[in-house]
Structure formats: C-alpha cells, structure tokens
Structure 1
Amino acid sequence: MRAESLACREQLGVDLTVQSPPPRRPSRSIVAAFCAALAAAPLPAHAFEIFGIKLFGSRDPAQEDLTIGDPQRYEVEFAVADDDIGKKLKAASTLWADRDEPASGAAGLIAKARGDYRRLLAALYAEGRYGGTISIRIDGREASGLAPDATLSQPARVAVAVDPGPLFHFRQADVVNQAPPTADRHDRVDDPRDEGFAPGAVARSGAVLRAERLAVEAWRQQGYARAEIAERRVEAAHGENVIDARIAVAPGRKAHYGPVTVEGAERVDAGWIAWMTGLRHGQEYDPDDIKRASTRIARLDLFRAARFQEAEFVNDDGLLPITYIVQERLPRRFGVGGTWSSVDGGGIEAFWLHRNLFGRAERLKIEGKVAGIGQTFKPDEFTYRVGASFVKPGVYTPDTSFSASLFGDREVLEAYTRTAVTLGAGLTHEFTEELSGRLFATAARSRFDDDEFGRRDFMTVGLAGGLTYDSRDNAADATRGVFLETVVEPFYEFERGNPAIRATAEARAYYGFGKEARLVLAGRLKLGMLAGPPAAELPPDLLFFAGGGGSVRGYAYRNIGVTTPSGNVIGGRSLTEASIEARMRVTPSIGLVAFADAGYVGADAVPSFDDRLRVGVGGGLRYITGLGPIRLDVAVPLDRRPGDPSVAFYVGLGQAF
C-alpha cells in the first residue's frame, strides 16, 4: 500500500503522504484503489482533483459518456453505512443522478462509473473522510477492471458500496506568510481559522480551499495583486486519523494601476470606457475597485460580455497593466410589455431605445403606454402616456449621470382625470454601491377634472431631491438586505401663488431563513406628508392616494383617499402604508406568497387616523425566471366600500416590493 501511495503521489504531482494504516479487510485504501484504477483503465485518464485542484487531464463530459453502441439501461444501488454521508454521495454521483436514463452503450456506463470514483472520493474528502473505500461493481465486476467493450446484462446491475472510514481532524493547519492585520475595515478578510482551517477542526477539503482563497485575498486587499499560493502540503496520517496541512503564500510585488486598455470596443469610445472604470494611473491596487468598476459599467447596459484581465506580472516600476475586454450589444432595442389586474384593467406599453447615441453610452428612450383597457372600451377613457428620456452617464465623475425627460399624460382614475405635460432634468450620483442620491428640477403644466372641484389648471415648478440606500441581494426578488429611501420635493404653484413641500420616506426589509432562503419574510413601511395650502389648491397628483398592486392590494389603484362630505374621494396630505409578506420557494421555479397590506390617507399633514385603516389580504403564485418572478396575486379588501371589488387579481413582473 505504501508503494502504491507513493506512485500515486508521483503520478498526480501533489505531496499526499499516506501513512500505512493498521491491517484491514482486503479492500484497499481509497487513494491507492483510485490510483490502481487509473493505471488499469484502458480508457483515457480523466481529470483528477484533490482539494478541488485539477491535477491532470481534461473535464470534457464527452469522455465520460461516449456515444458507443446501443443504449445501456442499468439499475443502481447505494450501500453506505452513514445516511447523511450517503445523501451527499448520491448527490455527487452521476450514476445515481442519471439512473432513469440509459447510458450510451456499455462503454458509456463504464466511463460513467469510473468518473464516479473521482466524484465520490471528492465528496468523502469534503466531509473529512480520508480513509474510506469505494467499490463500484457492474454485474458483479469492479468497474475499474472492465474493458470498454465488456458485455453487460440488460439492464446492468450496478452496486456502489462506500465505507466512509473514520473522521479526520486537522492536527496542523498553518498559513505561512499570512498578510499582516489592516486598520482599514474595507480591506479586512475573514481569518482562515474562523472558517474551519484550525487544529482540532474536522479536516474538510473545502476548509483548505477556503484558507487558500482567504490567504491570497488578504494580500490582494492590501495591494498585492499577484499574490498566489507558493506551496501546498497536505499529509494524512491514517493511524491517527489526522491531517497535517500547510499552505504558503507568495505576495509578490505591491501593485499600482498601470494603463487601462479596452479591447473589443467598436461603437463605444474606448478611452471613455477606460476613464469610466475609475482605475487611475498610479493608484494603489484594490480588488474592490475592480468590482465597483465592473458594476458601474454593467449599469450602462452596453456590453453583452465584459471582463477585466490583469497582467501576469507587476512591472519593475510597480505598475500593473489592465485590459478590459468587451463585446458590445446592438445599440438599438425595441420592447413591448403588458400588465393586467381585475381592478385596473389591462395595459400595453412599448419603447424604442438607443443605448449609445453619441458613442459614450448616451441613452435615448422613447416610450408610450395605454392602460385601463377592459375597464372601458372607450378610447377617450383610456390612460395614455407618451414621452422621451435621455441619460448621459459619466458627467463630472464616473459615478454621476445627467438625466432629462419630457412626458405627456392623460390619466383617467376614479378620483380624477389628469392631462399634463411634465419636464424634469437633474443629476444622479452613486456614492457607494449601496448609497445614491439625486437632485432634479421639475416643471409641470396640468389640467384636472374631478367631481369635487370641477376643472382646475395648475402650473408647478420645483426641486426633487432624494437619497436611496439599497443593500438587497436582488432588486427583483430579494432574500436579504434593506431598502431605504427618502424624497423631499419643495415646489411653487403659480396659478394660485402657493408654495408647498412634499416628503416621503420608505423602508423595506428582507430576511431569508436557511442557507438557500427558501422562506423569506419581507416587510415595507411608507410615510408621506405634504405641507402647504389646502387640498383644493394643490394638484391632485401631488396629493397622497393609496391602493393598487404596489400599495394596498384588494383596492383600486389610487382609490384610497379622503372622503369628503359629498361622498367623493380626494387626495390627502399624509400617507401611511405597511405591507408584510411570507414568500416560500416550493420548487426551484415555483413560489407561493401570503401577504397583508394596510394603508391610510389623512386630510392633514400630520395623520390623525380618524378614519379606518384600509386592509387587504391575500396570496399569490410566483414563477421564477431569469428576469425576476412573474407575479400573480389574489387579494380581498377587508373594509370593502361601495365600488370596491370583492376580489382583485394582479399580474406583473417582479415581487410586489
């Protein structure tokens, strides 16, 4: 056994010393058995990994499932003493995963079985089991000894027997040349000892991999871009069931950014893209800068694929040249979409987009929308919206954008009908990955018709400033993180000479249970106030309403407001909304949701809650797609009034919040 182990070490090119264990039953040690299998196998040698490191060969799946001969059916049985490990071994086995499908001939089944030696071995290592044995027998014969053209029964009987062996622990777990501690919290990296690479811990192979990654990353965070593992030594002492592991890091030379070169740019200004990365010549290297640059440029939506490629060596002057390799998208795009709810009817919208108008990611979008279809079939009672928006990124800094928009609207709601032209222009700045701010100048000319006040005209000019903090892991389907936003809008209404100020604050929180977050609790709270003249002298679209798919489900869109003595519903000067959802992932593509929404609109800037809180409850179905979940919600209003639906249905893309 000792000779076989040493031969395996020479063949694989890794220092894996196996001390001779005490006498055992005839089955060989797992390392020796696998080396013997490799030596005996007339098929080409497959890739082999120890601690997740590919030592030789390729990982071409075609080598494992050669298309030879007729389909070979088989039945497989697993025999593992430990049930928990048995589940993990089955998850690693292609024999088990593909058991319902025939293999590509006898050679394909034999190749699949031989590949499972490696997979099962890696799964045992991942659980800290280094003294186990693996037997894969096909029709009573060990798969490692079968020729590719062996004759098998139909169906073949495959028996996988694994003795996991004893649990190994680290006796020694050393990181040589570990990075010094840093005072900068942004450069701190978890200690490998806290991730399981420590004496006395279970010697899982993943702990060694994590230790290597963390040890290298700690140096990279301090500017050593080409840090690497210089030595890796893992020794198993079977007699004592322990592992001695030692990894040494070579940090290399400290790096600063050299020139940034862009490859693959055709319609986009390559020099401008290099500037947009924010990687300034001579600045100390930081992998977080690379990550931020990738996120910033991804927001431009210019490229189908893009990646940074760092030079292999740091130059003698300490500079690290960097190449940004891109593949451009087509600059023009056209899209059509739709929404529907049983309360608000259906909507159709379309847009035309140019994402690179002048060569520096200038974005022009022309869009139109028709809504309210189904509630009525009279064109003059539909809601219409048409307009254009323009975005110029990279103004003053790579994280600052200029935006301008012009829209014409005719909005037909239960509470009012609005005909308006609005104009906005301003700047948006990304302070960090989570924190952004914006400041816009706005102007609107509008006409409103409603039952309470009749026809009124308004002309408003103002500012809109906001801050947003967003730490969600996925904006369309969050499982953790928070979203905080506050917006302040001072404005002046010229027709009646009234100044006013409008403010809103919203908080959303998400908490997923378990590693896969199959159950997520989500909550939302929104508050609003408007200080200034009475409601009769303010544009209704700046007053507060509640109700609808993104507000209080079960009620019509913007149909919760202040009820006047004449029985009409008008907007209020304060708003309170709250929602809670429980989201359960039933399968990888199907989810269920239960929710409750509540909303209150007050006549005064400070809510008095002298009217009843409107509450809607319901459930929903989610179909998970790459763009986000397709949402189907059913809601019931608990405080139904005349004109409110008994049941409301909503369909859309993305979670409700």
Structure 2
Amino acid sequence: MNRLTRTILCAALMGVPGIGAAQNLDLNVSGGSDDLRSELKDAMSLYALADAEETTPQALIAAAQADYERIVAALYGGGRFSPVVSIKVDGREAAEISPFEAPASINTILIEVDPGPRFQFGRAEIAPLAEGTEIPPEFQTGERAGTAPIRNAVTAGVTGWRNVGNAKARLAEQEIIADHPERALNVRLRLEPGPRLRFGEIGVSGNDRVRRTRIREIAGLPQGEVFDPQEIADAERRLRQTGVFGSVAVSEAETPNADGTLDLDVQVAEQKPRRFGFGAEVSTQEGGKLSAFWLHRNLFQGAERLRVEGEVSGIGTDSDEMDYALRLTYGRPATFTPDTDFFLTAGIERLNEPGFTSNQANIAAGLTQRFSDQLTGSFGLGYRYIDTEDAFGAREFQLLTAEFGAIYDTRNNTLNPTGGYYLSATGTPFLGLDDTESGLRFTSDARGYVGLGAEDRFVLAGRAQIGSVWGPSLGETVPDYLFYSGGGGSVRGVPYQSLGVTLPNGDFTGGQSFAGVSAELRATVRDNIGLVGFYDAGMITEDSGFGGDRDWHAGAGFGLRYNTGIGPIRVDIATPVTGDDAGRNYEIYIGIGQAF
C-alpha cells in the first residue's frame, strides 16, 4: 500500500520558559485524500494547540491521548470502521505516557492513521415505528455506512412517536456489528415508544414582572390534550414574538404522572421593559427623514406593548413645509386565542405631498390573527378626520373605516431574501360622514425571489403592485387614498410621486388606480458586498378599475449592497428611461434592507 504523507511543521508551539514544546507535528494518512486529512486535522485538539502562545508538554500529552478517540470518531462518522491510529511522542506511544510523568520537552509528535476501507450498511433495521414515520434514505442496506445516518434514524424514529403523543419514546436497544471481511455494518435498533401522554400542569419560572397567568395564556399550551411537540414549539414562538423575553424554553418533566399526564415548565428571562431608538433615511428627491420611538414592553404586567413614535420627513427639499407625524400603538398578545393579538392605534399627521397638503387625525382598533407560520390576517375598525387642500380646493373628510388584510410570506429572510415569495392584500371599505362619499380602496403587493448559482450567489427578484378606489368620483376621493407613482417605493429614478393625473385646468392630483412592476438582478461579489441592477415601471389611470386615461413611466439603475448583521445597507442610483428626462437626471436612495 502506498503511503501519502503530509507533514505540517508548527514551530510556534513554544512552552513556558524553561520547558520546551513540540517543534514538529507530523500527520501521516495511508491512502487518504486531502479532504480526509483536513477532516482529521479539524477533529484533533493537538492542532488547536498550535495557535496557543504557551503550550506545556503536559498539555500536549493530554491532547494527544484525547485525540485517539477524536480521530476514531471522525473516521466512524465517514464509514470507516477498521482504522488503526498511532500517536507517538518522541517515539513513545502517547497512550502509554502518564500526564504526571511528561518529559521536560517534546521535539516531535507523529500521528499515523490507517483509515481502513469504507463500509456499507448490510442490515439497517429500526422498529417499532409510529405510523407515517419517514426514516432518512441514507439509513438502508447498500448505502454508505456512518454514525450520522444511525443517529438521524434514531432521531426520526423517536420524533415519529413523539408526534403522536408518546413523549417519552427512546432508543431502548442497539446492536451494531462491523463485518470486516464483507466491509458491512449491520445495525439493529429497537425503540421503546412508552405510553401516550397528555399535557399536565404548566409551571412558569424565571419571570419577574410579567404575570404567570399571562405567560400561560400567551404560551397557549393545551392542558389535558394529547402531547404534541409542535404545541411546545408554537408556545416558545408566541412568547418570543411578544418581544418581552430575552430567552424562552419549555422543558418536560423527566417522569410522567400516574394519570398519564406530563408536566411542563415554561422558563423565561425578561428583557428590560423600556427601549428607545432612532433612524435616518435620505434620497435626493424626498429629502431626509428622521424618526424616533419609545417602547414599553410590559405596560400592565401582561406583555402589553406601548410604542410612541415620531417622524419628520422632507428635510432639505425645496418644499416650503416638511411632513410631521406622531403615532401611538398599543398591542396586547393572546387576546381571545393564543394566536390573536389586539391592537389600538392613534395618530396625528401633517402631509405635504406633491399633489396635496393635509392635516389628519385617526384612531383604529382591531385584531391580528396568525393562522400559520406563513399566513396572517387582520381586521380593524377606525375613524379618520382629514383637513386637506389639493387641486379641488380646501375640503374636510370624515370616514368610518373597516380594514381587512392578509399576508402570505414564505421568504427565507425578510431583509435580504434569496428564495420564496410574499403576497399581501388589503381591502378598506369606508363610510363617509358629513357629505363625504363612501367606497372601497384595495391594494395588493406580490414579490418573488429565485436564487441561482452556488450559495445563491445570484438572485432574481420581482415585484408587482396594484391598487384602485371604487365609489367616489376622482374629485370626491380622499387625497391620500389616490395613487401616485415615482420614488423609492415604486419607480426609482423619477421624482417622488411625479406621475398622477393632470386635470384640464393644468392642476395635478393622484389617480384612482395604480399598477407597478419591478425587477432586480442581485449578485454577491464578495462575502459582504453585492451589486444590483434594476428596472421599475409604473402606471396611473384616472378612473376606478384601471379605466379612463392612463400614463406610465419607468426608471432603471444599479445599486451597491453592504451586508450587515441586521440587513444590507442599500445605495441605489437610478435615472428615468422614459420621457424628456430619460438618461439626463438621476436619483440616489440610501436605506437598510433590499428595495423590496
């Protein structure tokens, strides 16, 4: 047998003054590939000591003795069950050297490994299994043997029983025999399902300010019902989503109760109840925007959230006035059901938009329902007062609103997705008071993402938006219910809300319908650096349902992304590709997260 030898010199392994350390660390692997040698190096603690500033002979002897087991475990994991391992310290086998009799200095440590042949599964049996349990396909006769497929098979078998209520299912017996002449690994695993259990008492520990009764309500564990590990995962998710707890864990009692129930303990660690923050955003057309918020996470000791936020936008633009907003949001989790949250919002706002200016006040209350990990819905009732001036003059509007919304989200990352899609739809029927007309406003947003290449180096992203208002005429529609196009949220490269409806007298206002599409090609050029090319287009029509005269515009450009732990920092440069300004003007947009 030819021996491939790889020698690694680690002259930096110096001991403390007066005590020498190993000057040569050699690894010889018979018939091994570079990948195998790399795996063994990663598994060994001797190589980890190579970077230590001070390494004593005693530490090297202890590491060498531990590395026998580490090397064998790594080889077993790769399906090699007849290895021969030798670790010699200055010619002596490390296993025979007492750590208390370590030499004053070590010159050479030689590791010799004969990994032996790879084994296949001869027999691969696991029983009994719960109905519907799927065992990993790599655990079957003829497949490459290894410890990982065995562990995965046990995990799948135990999980299958737990999913049907047998919470204490376990591996009761295992028989693993290596047939060296046949190079086969024969495995027989026997599971012990244990009894089918129900959820018992729900204890709470670690809480400080949040009441235990509210923690149980939010967790929503169904006491008395058949044990289900998904219920535990949902309980942990609900508690984390409140934002009140820094850590959440649900632990099971070691022993079931005599009545067939299993007690649980909900362990939590609370975060500080108060928090504040601020943000900034800038674009060449919309100007700068500053925002700040103050948050109380546990207002009435029931994980209720109160958030007060303010915003000033339009900073540095040519406009005479800036926009101001002050909003209050109250949220209460686990209202009526564990997955139903109550919300109350109120706010005042000053808007100075290209097509109108207005002073507004609003209040609304409603419920948000989580139907699954991907699907959420909401319903709310509210009142709005708007004092506005636009192309149709100075007017007042009063509305009673009902808002129905749904979001279906399968994106793998909300700030930087590389796969999945996002669908949202919102319908807002409104009843006009004091001569205000009634009607319905509808909006929808669809986004999709496809990753291409190794590790999704390239991503194709697309977006489509539509919206329309039915009921009132154009001149009787609340100005901020009308649609405009242009700017960072619709068509980059053209001025903010520059596309709308031009009336016969030359005045400018929004349209009753909008459609927009965007496409991006995102490429990762380095670990934290990405480039983006994009094209946006938008259309506005004068009438409901995309009737009447219509106009559209488009913009294109490129962007730079710098990935951070909280999402990519975005810088986009865009220019119009339609109209008289095509290719002449440009807009710059800066923010956090992808454009969509």
TM-score bin (small chain): 0.7 to 0.9
Change over 3 Å in CA distance of 1:583–1:110 after alignment to 2: farther
SS at match of 2:209: coil
Q: Distance in 1 between matches of 2:508 and 2:63?
A: 70
The alpha-carbon deviation at position 535 of structure 1 amounts to 2.2
The within-5 A match list for 1:616-627 is 616-625=556-565, 627=566
* 2:264 is equivalent to residue 329 of structure 1: no
Using the TM superposition, name which of 225-234 and 336-345 deviates more: 336-345
**Partner of residue 314 from structure 2, selected from 337, 362, 372:** 372
The aligned counterpart of 1:3 is none
The alpha-carbon deviation at position 547 of structure 1 amounts to 3.0
Q: Distance in 1 between matches of 2:161 and 2:593?
A: 40
SS at match of 1:551: coil
* 2:440 is equivalent to residue 501 of structure 1: yes
Q: Distance in 1 between matches of 2:507 and 2:89?
A: 80
* RMSD, aligned α-carbons: 3.4
Tell me if the contact between 1:74 and 1:99 (Cα under 8 Å) persists in the aligned partners. no
**Partner of residue 192 from structure 1, selected from 129, 132, 135:** 135
The within-5 A match list for 1:584-623 is 584-586=523-525, 589-607=528-546, 610-623=550-563
* 2:442 is equivalent to residue 491 of structure 1: no
SS at match of 2:213: helix
How many corresponding residue pairs? Answer: 581
Change over 3 Å in CA distance of 1:436–1:231 after alignment to 2: same
Q: Distance in 1 between matches of 2:287 and 2:532?
A: 22
Using the TM superposition, name which of 551-560 and 242-251 deviates more: 551-560
* 2:121 is equivalent to residue 178 of structure 1: no
Change over 3 Å in CA distance of 1:213–1:448 after alignment to 2: same
Using the TM superposition, name which of 396-405 and 452-461 deviates more: 452-461
Identity %: 36
The alpha-carbon deviation at position 87 of structure 1 amounts to 4.9
Change over 3 Å in CA distance of 1:211–1:339 after alignment to 2: same
The aligned counterpart of 1:358 is 300
User: Which one has a larger percent strand, Structure 1 or Structure 2?
Assistant: 2
Tell me if the contact between 1:479 and 1:512 (Cα under 8 Å) persists in the aligned partners. yes
Q: Distance in 2 between matches of 1:100 and 1:567?
A: 75
Q: Distance in 1 between matches of 2:459 and 2:90?
A: 48
The aligned counterpart of 1:260 is 202
Change over 3 Å in CA distance of 1:72–1:620 after alignment to 2: farther
Using the TM superposition, name which of 389-398 and 574-583 deviates more: 574-583
1:362 partner amino acid: E
How big is each residue's C-alpha offset from its partner over 1:513-570, in whole Å with a ceiling of 9 and x where there is no partner?
A: 5785444433322222221233222122111223333333333443333344566553
The aligned counterpart of 2:321 is 381
Where in structure 2 are there 5+ consecutive unaligned residues? 5-12
2:302 partner amino acid: R
Change over 3 Å in CA distance of 1:530–1:244 after alignment to 2: same
* 2:77 is equivalent to residue 126 of structure 1: yes
SS at match of 1:359: coil
**Partner of residue 404 from structure 1, selected from 332, 344, 351:** 344
Change over 3 Å in CA distance of 1:95–1:317 after alignment to 2: same
The alpha-carbon deviation at position 386 of structure 1 amounts to 0.8
Where in structure 1 are there 5+ consecutive unaligned residues? 1-23, 28-64, 182-188
SS at match of 1:381: coil
The aligned counterpart of 2:118 is 167
Change over 3 Å in CA distance of 1:265–1:131 after alignment to 2: same
The aligned counterpart of 1:435 is 375
Q: Distance in 2 between matches of 1:459 and 1:214?
A: 59
Q: Distance in 2 between matches of 1:442 and 1:620?
A: 41
* 2:402 is equivalent to residue 463 of structure 1: yes
* 2:578 is equivalent to residue 639 of structure 1: yes
Tell me if the contact between 2:22 and 2:106 (Cα under 8 Å) persists in the aligned partners. no
The alpha-carbon deviation at position 229 of structure 1 amounts to 1.2
The alpha-carbon deviation at position 408 of structure 1 amounts to 1.0
* 2:366 is equivalent to residue 415 of structure 1: no
Tell me if the contact between 1:599 and 1:615 (Cα under 8 Å) persists in the aligned partners. no
1:165 partner amino acid: G
Change over 3 Å in CA distance of 1:168–1:544 after alignment to 2: same
Change over 3 Å in CA distance of 1:373–1:141 after alignment to 2: farther
The aligned counterpart of 2:9 is none
The aligned counterpart of 1:299 is 241
SS at match of 2:567: coil
The aligned counterpart of 2:593 is 654
The aligned counterpart of 1:475 is 414
Tell me if the contact between 2:572 and 2:588 (Cα under 8 Å) persists in the aligned partners. yes
2:447 partner amino acid: R
1:172 partner amino acid: R
Tell me if the contact between 2:561 and 2:568 (Cα under 8 Å) persists in the aligned partners. no
How big is each residue's C-alpha offset from its partner over 1:597-654, in whole Å with a ceiling of 9 and x where there is no partner?
A: 33222223333695334233322213221x3333333333323655998333333233
* 2:177 is equivalent to residue 235 of structure 1: yes
Q: Distance in 2 between matches of 1:644 and 1:442?
A: 45
1:151 partner amino acid: S
The alpha-carbon deviation at position 26 of structure 1 amounts to 11
SS at match of 1:617: strand
The aligned counterpart of 2:8 is none
Q: Distance in 1 between matches of 2:273 and 2:347?
A: 23
The within-5 A match list for 1:194-209 is 194=137, 196-209=138-151
Change over 3 Å in CA distance of 1:75–1:387 after alignment to 2: farther
Using the TM superposition, name which of 361-370 and 531-540 deviates more: 531-540
SS at match of 1:220: helix
Q: Distance in 1 between matches of 2:534 and 2:38?
A: 35
SS at match of 2:551: coil
TM-score (norm 2): 0.87
How big is each residue's C-alpha offset from its partner over 1:285-313, in whole Å with a ceiling of 9 and x where there is no partner?
A: 11111111111111111111111011112
SS at match of 2:292: strand
1:544 partner amino acid: F
The alpha-carbon deviation at position 203 of structure 1 amounts to 0.8
SS at match of 2:552: coil
* 2:471 is equivalent to residue 532 of structure 1: yes
Q: Distance in 1 between matches of 2:48 and 2:590?
A: 36
Q: Distance in 1 between matches of 2:387 and 2:20?
A: 73
SS at match of 1:192: coil
Change over 3 Å in CA distance of 1:338–1:532 after alignment to 2: same
Tell me if the contact between 2:21 and 2:105 (Cα under 8 Å) persists in the aligned partners. no
TM-score (norm 1): 0.79
The aligned counterpart of 1:313 is 255
Tell me if the contact between 2:26 and 2:110 (Cα under 8 Å) persists in the aligned partners. yes
* 2:91 is equivalent to residue 151 of structure 1: no
Tell me if the contact between 1:588 and 1:624 (Cα under 8 Å) persists in the aligned partners. no
The alpha-carbon deviation at position 465 of structure 1 amounts to 0.5
How big is each residue's C-alpha offset from its partner over 1:483-510, in whole Å with a ceiling of 9 and x where there is no partner?
A: 2211111113335442221112222223
